Amino acid sequence: MTNQYQTAQLRELDALHHLHPFTDHKSLRASGSRVIVRGDGPYIFDSEGHRILDGMAGLWTANIGYGRKELAQAAYDQMVELPFYNTFFKTTHPPVVALARKLAELAPDNLNQVFFGSSGSEANDTAIRLIRHYWVLKGEPKRRIIISRKNAYHGSTIAAGSMGGMAHVHAHSYPVYEGFRHIIDPYWYGEAKDGESPQAFGIRAARALEEEILAVGPENVAAFAGEPVQGAGGVKIAPESYWPEVQRIIDKYGILLLADEVITGFGRLGTWFASQYYGIRPNLITFAKAVTSGYIPLSGVIVDDEIVAALMAHDDDFHHGYTFSGHPVACAVALKNLEIMERERLVPRVREFGGPALAKMLAKFKDHPLVGEVRSIGLLGAIELVADKRTRRRFDNLGRVGLICRDHFFREGFIMRAVFDTMVMAPPLIWTQAQFDEAEAVIRRVLDLTLSDVAGEVAA
């Protein structure tokens, strides 16, 4: 096949001029980047002509798949009509009005107003400021502490990174902001005591919130923040007992709930928002990624009537905003994306087909010698790789085997992400049985290849 891309040259220029996110730059320079040039439906293609099944929807993002011309047309039309105007100085424009209204319709009933940004990190920064501002407006300025969870990922700005609970992100924040506390994450497979049932563990993990509230003083606590399902932390799915108990504690102490739905928003669990799946009552929902299926950056915070009432009761400005808050082109693309999701019934399809198909496919690997646990919810899935599946003993140098496995996947034409030694996936909502079958065959091959690389380390 003729190669229209100068792969070697692109790699060299990339190494010379492009700093990648969350990357060991030295090792990337040694190995070189893979050049992705095109996407079509559930597949992406590299510069050497390989077709790759994208099990990660880009980065938890391309929910309607790649190559949808309707989104390009929506962007084109909006660019011709009004490519940009700000929303700062008592101005608005049709796409931002229409999208805010649409999001209010899709979100839980009492969340009716939207503050826009461009990335998930920005949305969470906005949420942090709104939460603290709310308590100032309510005459309780001491309420500043936001409690979140270990291994949470809320973004990479200093504020969102501080609210997140990833030690390696904190280590590079110089310094981490004060006013955030991190409690245990609801990760039964990794954190439960011997013999502790998922439900008992879920209650214990939730009660850690109450213990932390009491430890810092309820009068100092502003909010609890959590991803309904921890994504980047390793697709950690809370036991059923967890969220109801968290909500009970939130209600008891009258603190706010921020649901970070940057990954779970827009259908991933078979509901528009995971808050609806779990029946929790957030005061703020942050979203990004799949609102446009990643075709263009857009994010925001959907805010409840109580917070909005507090803002309305005061004359002062809320001193916060971004040039691109409510960018007209991004809003137009989001509207078209949501229209397609509705037209193709992609959200109920996750409940009726995609979620069960993923669970069924993953279950086939639970007896593999490398696999400690498989788990999934909606279209989020994970495979835990362990050295001893009986005792749950991990491999030495956590993350090493995950990378070996991820590289095999890449070579075999399938994308799964390694979170240490947990392989995670979040396919687009459009997968048919053909893609699940293809994934199953690759996963079987790759687990066997990985097993033969580390055979000497795996308990018999």
Ligand X SMILES: Cc1ncc(COP(=O)(O)O)c(C=O)c1O
CB 336 within 8 A of CB 77: no
* Residue 297 and residue 334 in contact, taking contact as beta carbons nearer than 8 Å: no
- Binding to ligand X by residue 153, rule CB under 6 A? yes
Strand partners, 301: 115, 286
Minimum CB distance to ligand X, residue 215 (Å):
25
The residue within the footprint of ligand X, chosen from 58, 165, 231, 270 (CB under 6 A), is 231
85-93, 237-245, 256-264, 353-361 -> range binding ligand X (CB under 6 A): 256-264
Task: Quote the CA–CA distance of 269 and 278 in Å, as a whole number.
Answer: 10
Q: How many residues bind ligand X (CB under 6 A)?
A: 15
* Binds ligand X (CB under 6 A): choice among 260, 384, 421, 438: 260
- State in angstroms the smallest separation of the CB of 277 from ligand X: 15
Quickly count: other Cβ atoms within 10 Å of residue 91's Cβ. 9
Smallest separation, CB 293 to ligand X (Å): 14
What is the distance between the alpha carbons of residues 395 and 389, in angstroms, rounded to a whole number?
11
| Nearer CB in complex with ligand X: 221/262 | 262
The reply on whether position 232 binds ligand X by CB under 6 A is yes
The set of residues, in sequence order, having a beta carbon less than 8 Å from that of 254 and lying 6+ positions away, is: none
Strand-pair partners of 32 = none
Residues 88-147 touching ligand X, rule: CB under 6 A, are 119-121, 124
**Cα dist from 29 to 9, 13, 339, whole Å:** 13, 11, 42
* Using rule CB under 6 A, residue 262 touches ligand X: yes
Nearest to 341 by CA among 37, 38, 65: 65
The smaller minimum CB distance to ligand X, of residues 156 and 376, is found at 156
Buried b (16+ CB within 10 A) or exposed e, 277-290: bbebbbbbbbbbbb
Q: Based on CB atoms, which residue is closest to ligand X, 170 or 207?
A: 170
- Per CB under 6 A, which region of 64-72, 225-233, 234-242, 245-253 contacts ligand X? 225-233
**Residue from 39, 65, 155, 378 in contact with ligand X (CB under 6 A):** 155
Q: Tell which positions 267-306 bind ligand X, by CB under 6 A.
A: 288
Q: Pick the stretch among 9-17, 150-158, 198-206, 410-418 that binds ligand X (CB under 6 A).
A: 150-158
Does residue number 148 form part of the binding site for ligand X (CB under 6 A)?
A: no
DSSP bridge partners of 408: none
What sign does the CA torsion over 439, 442, 445, 446 have?
negative
Please tell me the distance from the alpha carbon of residue 186 to that of residue 205, in angstroms, as a whole number: 6
Rounded CA separation 446/412 (Å): 8
**What is the smallest separation between the CB atom of 261 and ligand X, expressed in angstroms?**
8
Q: CB burial class (10 A; 0-12, 13-18, 19+) of residue 74? A: buried
Residue nearest to ligand X (CB): 120
Between β-strands 180-183 and 145-149, what pairing exists: parallel, antiparallel or unpaired?
Answer: parallel
Touching ligand X, residues 157-216 (CB under 6 A):
none
Span interacting with ligand X, options 96-104, 148-156, 250-258, 403-411, rule CB under 6 A: 148-156
Q: Is 265 a binder of ligand X (CB under 6 A)?
A: no
**Which spans of this chain sit near ligand X (rule: CB under 6 A)?**
119-121, 124, 153-156, 227, 231-232, 260, 262-263, 288
